[in-house]
Amino acid sequence: MGIGQALGFVGATVVLVGMPGPNNIYISLRSLTQGRRAGVVSAFAIETGSIVYILLTALGLAAVVQASPVVFTAISLAGAAYLAVLGIRSLRSGDAAGIGAVQVTSLGRIFREGVLVNLLNPKAALFFLAFLPQFTTRGAGTGQVRNEMLLLGLAVLVIGLLLDLTYALGADALARRFRTAGRRRGLGRYVVAGIYLTIAAVAALSVLA
C-alpha cells in the first residue's frame, strides 16, 4: 500500500467510523449518564465486538450475513429490539438516571451490553466486508488477502477506539457541565430514553422498508 492509498484509507476510516451512529451514541449516553469510566468501558466493548466482525470478515463468514436476507433482517431486528430495551430501562431507572447524573452500574454489565450493541448491528459486518477488500492487493492469493484484511482491520480497530474514546470523554465533559450547573435531572432520563428508542425505530424501519 502506497502513501497515497494509506492516507486515503485513514481518511475514509475516520469519516466512516467517526460518523455518529448507534455505537457512538451508545458510548456517549453511557458517559452522559454514568460517567467517564462507563464511557471508556463502553468504547472498549464496542471495539471488542468489532474484533469479532474483523475475524469473520477475514474468514469470509461475514459474506453469509450479506447473502442471507433472512439472517440480516433477524439480526437487525434483534439489535433494534435491544436498543428499545435499553431505552425502556432508562425510563424505569428513576430520576437519577438523567444527563449529568452519575448512575451506578456494574462495569462488567456495561461491557457486555456494549459488545451486544455492536454484535447486533449487522451493518458493522457489512462495513468491514465492503470496506477492507478495497485496500487489499489485487490478484493476491487467498492467504495474503486474509492477512492483509486482518492488518487493515487492526488499523480500523485502533482508529475506531481513538474516536470512541473521544466521544466518551467529550460526553463526560458535557455531563460535568450539567452537574456543575445543577440543572434538573428528571428530564434527562427522558432524553436518554428518547434517543435510544429513536435509534431503535430508525434501525427497524430501515430493515422493514
The predicted model scores a pTM of: 0.77
Of 102 and 115, the structure prediction assigns the larger pLDDT to 115
Q: pLDDT band for position 180 (50/70/90)?
A: low
Output the pLDDT for position 95.
47
Q: What is the mean pLDDT of residues 153-176?
A: 92
Domain locations in the chain as residue ranges: 3-72+100-183
Q: What is the mean pLDDT of residues 174-183?
A: 67
Range from 40-44, 84-88, 175-179, 184-188 carrying the lowest mean pLDDT: 184-188
Find the farthest-apart pair of alpha carbons in the chain and give their distance in angstroms, rounded.
61
Helix axes 122-131, 36-59, angle to 10 degrees: 60
- CB within 8 A of 96, min separation 6: which ones? 103, 185
Output the pLDDT for position 157.
94
Q: How many CB atoms lie within 10 A of CB 204?
A: 17
Q: What is the mean pLDDT of residues 114-126?
A: 82
Q: What is the mean pLDDT of residues 89-107?
A: 62
Of 136 and 189, the structure prediction assigns the larger pLDDT to 136
Percent share of the chain, pLDDT over 70: 78
Helix axes 122-131, 142-181, angle to 10 degrees: 130
Output the pLDDT for position 41.
95
